[in-house]
Amino acid sequence: MDSPAPRPSRRPPHLDWARAQTLVGAGVIIAGAAGALRGGLWAALSAPLAAAGILLAVDGWVYRKRGESFLISHPGRFALTAFWSIAFWGFFEVLNFRLNNWHYIGDPAHPVFRWVVTLFSFATVVPLVLELADLLDTAGLLKSVSVAPFHRSGRLLFPAIGAVCLALPLVGPATFFPLVWAVPFFLLEPVAEALGAPSLLSDWKSGGARRVALLGVSGVIAGLLWQCLNVGAGARWVFTVPHLDHWKILNMPALAYLGFVPFAFSVHTAGAVAARLWDRSGPPARFLWGIAWLCWVGTVLIGMDRFTRVP
């Protein structure tokens, strides 16, 4: 007796949208590249516009391959992550007031246009790292990565390391500046574990390292993409990294790309904590979170105009 024919796999409900989004993303990338040649506001928008195009294209491809993606399947969460990304990157901008590792040139003179470009740029940071990690995951890479299980709790050790990573660069910025990229990861990883949020520390305790590896690789790829977009952008950042201004790739010291690995860990951990706290908050608390976000972002923008922008 013949075996029954296998049932056709269920077609993802937004497959046509994902195909269209991939094509739109490619078009936005081209528009961003063309904007760099036009000058004015379009040149200032070229890098964040191209980054947004990469986000759209990658998300569309991921959905087409596995029937689920960050933007198409969870648009509300994606929007919240974009707003969170602005506040998250603002943390490093504030640290840079002391470190003086980078500054900005070519920004629009009018403050409204300048701030719009800045917010747009910052909103793409966290989503890009997470989307690239999804891309690598969907491609089936790094499946065999594992580590020896970590048997300590980490609840005291990790915050202590995070405090050191924060204090040393503030005391000796010329020497200890690379440590800042790991600060949110070490300070917040035990919090993520305690809240039941996705935790790299929990993965480590079980011997799993694939998520860590995916994030590390996605961080480096994101760094390379940002520098590719930055080189020809009308509004761009310039790195002045102590002791490492040799052997540059795309105008950035080659060794500095290693900083994107702990940065990607920080992106994941801080985002997991923020999402879990948001989910557990009621309307009054969310309103206060919104007010705090506005105050923080406003402080960052004003500080950047004073300390890190070159007229």
Q: With bands split at pLDDT 50, 70 and 90, how would you rate the model's confidence at 151? A: confident
In the prediction, which pLDDT does 9 show?
58
Collapsing DSSP to helix, strand or coil, 198 comes out as coil
Contacts of 51 (CB under 8 A, 6+ apart): 32, 121, 124, 128, 225, 226, 229
Structural domain boundaries in the chain:
75-310
What is the average pLDDT across 94-98? Answer: 96
CA gap 149, 271 in Å, rounded:
24
Residue 4 has pLDDT above 60, yes or no: no
Q: In what order do the strands lie in the sheet with 236-239?
A: 236-239, 102-105, 309-310
CA gap 133, 168 in Å, rounded:
30
With beta carbons less than 8 A apart as the criterion, state whether 40 and 46 touch: no
With beta carbons less than 8 A apart as the criterion, state whether 107 and 117 touch: yes
Q: Given CA atoms 241, 245, 247, 251 in this order, what sign does their dihedral have?
A: positive
CA gap 279, 289 in Å, rounded:
12
Rg of the chain, C-alpha, whole Å: 20
What is the average pLDDT across 270-292? Answer: 97
- For residue 307, give both structure tokens: 């300390």
Give the containing element (helix H, strand E) for 181.
none
84/254: higher pLDDT:
84
In the prediction, which pLDDT does 119 show?
97
CA gap 174, 181 in Å, rounded:
15
292/109: higher pLDDT:
292
CA gap 301, 20 in Å, rounded:
35
Burial 102-124 (b: 16+ CB within 10 A, else e): bebebbbeeeebbbbbbbbbbbb
Ranges assigned E (strand) in the chain: 102-105, 236-239, 248-249, 252-253, 309-310
CA gap 250, 133 in Å, rounded:
22
Burial 6-22 (b: 16+ CB within 10 A, else e): eeeeeebebeeebeebb
Q: Note the Cα 141 to chain centre separation in Å.
A: 20
42/306: higher pLDDT:
306
* Of 161, 309, 165, 285, the residue nearest 235 (C-alpha): 309
In the prediction, which pLDDT does 3 show?
44
Give the containing element (helix H, strand E) for 251.
none
Q: What are the tens digits of pLDDT across the range 6-55?
A: 444 577 888 999 999 999 999 999 998 887 767 677 888 899 999 999 99
Q: Note the Cα 303 to chain centre separation in Å.
A: 21
With beta carbons less than 8 A apart as the criterion, state whether 122 and 82 touch: no
Instruction: Give, in degrees to the nearest 5, the angle at Cα 106 between 239 and 95.
Output: 40
Q: With bands split at pLDDT 50, 70 and 90, how would you rate the model's confidence at 254? A: confident
Q: Please, how many CA atoms are within 13 Å of residue 4, restricted to the half-sphere of its CB?
A: 3
CA gap 93, 300 in Å, rounded:
7
Least confident of 34-43, 68-77, 142-151, 294-303: 34-43
98/41: higher pLDDT:
98
Share of the chain above pLDDT 70, in %: 96
Q: With bands split at pLDDT 50, 70 and 90, how would you rate the model's confidence at 2? A: very low
